[in-house]
Structure 1
Amino acid sequence: MVRAILDGRKTVTRRIVKPQPDFVVPQADSSKLPVVGKCTPDDEKHGRLAKSLWCPYGHVGDRLWVRETHMRVPHPAEFGFTKEMLPHTWDACCEVAGTFLYRADPCSDLVADGRQWTPSIHMPRAASRITLEVTGVRVERLQAITHEQAVAEGVHRIDIGSGYRPRYSAAQTTWQEVVEGTADAYEDARLAFRDLWQSINGPGSWDANPWVWAVEFKRIEQERKVA
């Protein structure tokens, strides 16, 4: 969903609370979750507040950096080229050397020209171009998500013209694909988010209706990264 963050469509993310609490104490928005232990005679947590779970995805005011699939642009000298060998392109190649390409950008595969992408898990901090500031944290059931919150999760919006309600899809979908029946799209963004959630967390993960951290954020603008 990197593209959705860059486009300003995604401003919240939901992550499963681990471990799932047996009972949650109702409270206002917070990154701290008081939980009650099982009421069994042999359980050390019997009949009292056992502990508080802290949101591992940050607290209000924290800044997070986002990893994404990327590629470092090499210097031509790394391939044995010299300025004499590339008189017309040397300066341009040197200017972009050390910067990064990102898979989420349009035409990224064309620009990469067959070179291998580096998985997001291996992205160094210096390569990250997206910094997020946490603006809100709360705990809720997954299925408590509203239409507005599902839109804020970045589901793809399909506008079909004036006078018609937009449709929402878990993936980037065209109206033609919807008409032809080759893609799913819904008037309720919650259903599109349900499809998105299950594509990430597996079949049945929506019906399980787990407790989730809902982490809201805003993007902090930053300059282009150079290695």
Structure 2
Amino acid sequence: MPKAKPITLHPHEVRAALRGELGVVLRPVKPQPFFENGILKAWLEGVLRSGPTGHLLAIEIPRRAPHPPGAERWVRETFGIEPERYIQPEVGSFGGRFEEEVFYKVDDFNLPGMQWRPSTHMPRRFSRLTLTIEAVRVVRLEDVLYSVWGWLYYGEMDQTAIAETWDKLHKRHPVESNPWCWLYEVGVKGGR
């Protein structure tokens, strides 16, 4: 059995997953493909093909995606542990341990003394959600930002606010550059 891998979700995505409304996850492709002399250069050698005008004709990418179809990914999110729940290591041993009392920042807990830890530091045992990748596509951001991504997470928010939110989350791939993105269609399972 392959090792379970994580996927980090932004707070709006975690909220949507907890409501049972998360259907897609959108991430910029890294590195971005580029055009040279009107031809899409192989960023996934032999996987992307373009026509004479440089438009994408076919994409056969699922097996090359960071999260391929059929994969299960445990979700990482910003979390905290009650400070008194940390158990110091015994003299001569390495590292302490945590009791299993964990809080999630997205749940709006405002506990005195809470030290929030970044999602990238979340251990597997604290994950409460699992995503199943059902399908993968490569899309241009402008094709889905306002219709899918913005509506799903922000409802009736204006386009400027949606673009600003994207730019804040993905500083290296702003809306104005219209980056190529992985669009993952996902199913959500509850955890913990």
| 1:73-130 deviations in Å (ceiling 9; x for gaps) | 4677959xxxxxxxxxxxxxxxxx5221111113x11xx3223122211110111111
Report whether the alignment pairs 1:201 with 2:170.
Answer: yes
Report whether the alignment pairs 1:113 with 2:122.
Answer: no
| 1:6-52 deviations in Å (ceiling 9; x for gaps) | 22343212212222223289xxxxx9981369xxxxxxxxxxxxxx7
Could you say which residue in structure 2 is the equivalent of 1:68? 77
Could you say which residue in structure 2 is the equivalent of 1:35? 48
The one-letter code sitting in structure 1 at the alignment partner of 2:77 is: E
The one-letter code sitting in structure 2 at the alignment partner of 1:54 is: R
Q: 1:32 and 1:59 mapped to 2: Cα distance?
A: 17
Larger strand share, 1 or 2 = 2
TM-score by length of 1: 0.56
TM-score by length of 2: 0.65
Could you say which residue in structure 2 is the equivalent of 1:104? 106
Q: Cα RMSD between the aligned structures? A: 3.3
Runs of 4+ with >6 A deviation: 74-77
Which has the larger Rg?
A: 1
Instruction: Describe the shift of the 1:141–1:24 C-alpha distance in structure 2 as closer, same or farther (beyond 3 A).
Output: farther
The one-letter code sitting in structure 2 at the alignment partner of 1:115 is: M
Instruction: Describe the shift of the 1:78–1:191 C-alpha distance in structure 2 as closer, same or farther (beyond 3 A).
Output: same
Could you say which residue in structure 1 is the equivalent of 2:68? 59
Instruction: Describe the shift of the 1:67–1:77 C-alpha distance in structure 2 as closer, same or farther (beyond 3 A).
Output: closer
Equivalent residue of 1:98, what SS? coil
| 1:164-204 deviations in Å (ceiling 9; x for gaps) | xxx22xxxxxxxxxxxxxxxxx2xxx554322211212388
Q: Which runs of 5+ in 1 are unaligned?
A: 26-30, 38-51, 80-96, 158-166, 169-185
Counting matched residue pairs gives: 153
Q: 1:114 and 1:219 mapped to 2: Cα distance?
A: 32
Could you say which residue in structure 2 is the equivalent of 1:139? 138
Displacement of 1:72: 3.0
Displacement of 1:66: 1.2
Displacement of 1:68: 1.2
Could you say which residue in structure 2 is the equivalent of 1:215? 184
Could you say which residue in structure 2 is the equivalent of 1:124? 123
Q: 1:120 and 1:35 mapped to 2: Cα distance?
A: 32
Q: 2:170 and 2:101 mapped to 1: Cα distance?
A: 33
Q: 1:149 and 1:36 mapped to 2: Cα distance?
A: 25
Could you say which residue in structure 2 is the equivalent of 1:43? none
Q: Which runs of 5+ in 2 are unaligned?
A: 1-10, 51-60, 89-98
Q: 2:184 and 2:172 mapped to 1: Cα distance?
A: 23
Could you say which residue in structure 1 is the equivalent of 2:23? 11
